[in-house]
């Protein structure tokens, strides 16, 4: 199907048309924040359509009498034969089965990037000075969110086929003498945290602690898993990069399919650990600037939340490129990025950065 970017789409709730309305959602920002039965129904329908080709449920299952998975904030309750929202949990014979992401193995692809690399934290991370060394980029094939604007949507193909499978020891052995850091992203580390944690522990043993462990995540994992991830990053000079998609809960459900409550709780906990190693910063926040949805007002709300915890937390504003279900949307404009930067600074944050400058229009 030919996609016409910039075409005006009508909001099914208020009837107004705008090029800043996604065809996938067919809802404007104002109506999403206002909520209501029609809005909630349209949100669910949009995510059901996006997930159907991959055999994934539209919402986290809530089957009465089922088995509860506590890997992330979705806390799916699965009946017999049901798969969890991430696609990696299944109930068989009344037992919760982990299809991947155990301490032993995970569904991942990995490759090497020369340092400095295009990292969310490159402007504050010591890895940006590691010229001649490399980053082991670990792309995890599952996610606990369903972002309609996903910039790495190919991870869903890995979830669907449950491959390629890599053991934690194999990944640790890929950390060579010249590897300066390991960065987990995807998808998201959340559904496969036991695997990523074990691989990191083995890598640190192998390199005698001389490699940074970093995470790029939506932050929705079980608090105990985040605690372990933070401890590995703190002791290795690595960091945890939280992608704060939206602050308004309804907007977050509209864009990402699920609640952001666990993410915000986990971010607050991570901020409480900053005094243990203020420099280099162990916690970085980022937000993708989605035209029409995540603009200055929403960035201001996110920035206010961050500033109440610690005004010196680095915050990176990332340019959006049309992808996945929002391929019809425009690229982030320079004007939008500058307005969002001003909004974040106005809330008192001291370290705000615009990333992906080459994408701005």
pLDDT of residue 6: 64
Contact 298, 260 (CB under 8 A): no
Domains of the chain: total: 1
Q: Is residue 112 a part of any domain in this protein?
A: yes
Q: Is residue 22 a part of any domain in this protein?
A: no
Q: Is residue 132 a part of any domain in this protein?
A: yes
User: Could you read off the pLDDT of 165-194 as tens digits, one per residue?
Assistant: 999 999 999 999 999 999 999 999 999 999
Q: Is residue 308 a part of any domain in this protein?
A: yes
Q: Is residue 61 a part of any domain in this protein?
A: no
User: Could you read off the pLDDT of 265-282 as tens digits, one per residue?
Assistant: 999 999 999 999 999 999
Sheet holding 315-319, edge to edge: 165-167, 105-114, 134-140, 179-186, 212-217, 240-243, 283-289, 315-319, 352-355
Q: Is residue 182 a part of any domain in this protein?
A: yes
User: Could you read off the pLDDT of 55-94 as tens digits, one per residue?
Assistant: 999 999 999 999 999 999 999 999 999 999 999 999 999 9
pLDDT band at 1 (very low <50, low <70, confident <90, very high): very low
Q: Is residue 242 a part of any domain in this protein?
A: yes
Q: Is residue 91 a part of any domain in this protein?
A: no
Which CATH number goes with the domain that contains 351?
A: 3.20.20.70
In this prediction the pTM is: 0.96
pLDDT of residue 197: 98
Which residue range is the domain that position 273 belongs to?
Answer: 105-359
Query: For 282-307, what is the mean pLDDT?
Result: 98
């Amino acid at each position: 199907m030919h996609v016409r970017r910039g075409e005006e789409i009508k909001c099914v709730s208020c009837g107004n048309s705008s090029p800043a309305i996604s065809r996938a959602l067919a809802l404007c920002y104002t109506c999403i924040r206002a909520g209501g039965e029609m809005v909630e129904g349209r949100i669910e329908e949009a995510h059901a359509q996006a997930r159907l080709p991959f055999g994934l449920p539209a919402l986290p299952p809530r089957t009465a009498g089922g088995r509860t998975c506590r890997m992330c904030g979705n806390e799916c309750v699965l009946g017999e034969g049901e798969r969890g929202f991430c696609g990696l949990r299944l109930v068989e014979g009344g037992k919760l089965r982990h299809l991947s992401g155990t301490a032993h193995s995970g569904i991942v692809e990995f490759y090497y990037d020369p340092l400095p690399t295009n990292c969310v934290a490159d402007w504050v991370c010591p890895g940006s000075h590691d010229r001649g060394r490399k980053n082991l980029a670990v792309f995890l094939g599952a996610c606990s969110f369903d972002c309609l604007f996903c910039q790495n949507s190919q991870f869903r193909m890995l979830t669907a086929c449950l491959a390629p499978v890599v053991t934690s020891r194999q990944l640790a052995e890929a950390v060579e003498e010249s590897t300066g850091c390991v960065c987990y992203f995807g998808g998201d580390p959340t559904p496969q945290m036991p695997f990523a944690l074990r691989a990191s522990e083995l890598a640190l043993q192998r390199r005698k602690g001389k490699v940074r462990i970093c995470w790029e995540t939506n932050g929705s994992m079980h608090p105990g898993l985040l605690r372990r991830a933070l401890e590995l990053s703190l002791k290795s000079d690595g960091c945890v990069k939280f992608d704060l998609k939206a602050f308004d809960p309804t907007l977050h459900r509209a864009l990402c399919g699920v609640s952001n409550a666990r993410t915000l709780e986990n971010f607050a906990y991570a901020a409480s650990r900053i005094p243990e190693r203020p420099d280099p910063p162990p916690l970085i926040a980022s937000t993708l600037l989605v035209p029409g949805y995540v603009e200055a007002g929403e960035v201001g709300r996110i920035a206010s939340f961050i500033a109440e915890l610690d005004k010196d937390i680095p915050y990176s504003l990332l340019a959006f490129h049309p992808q996945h279900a929002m391929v019809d949307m425009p690229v982030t404009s320079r004007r939008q990025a500058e307005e969002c930067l001003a909004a974040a600074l106005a809330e008192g944050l001291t370290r705000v950065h615009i990333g992906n400058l080459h994408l701005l229009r």
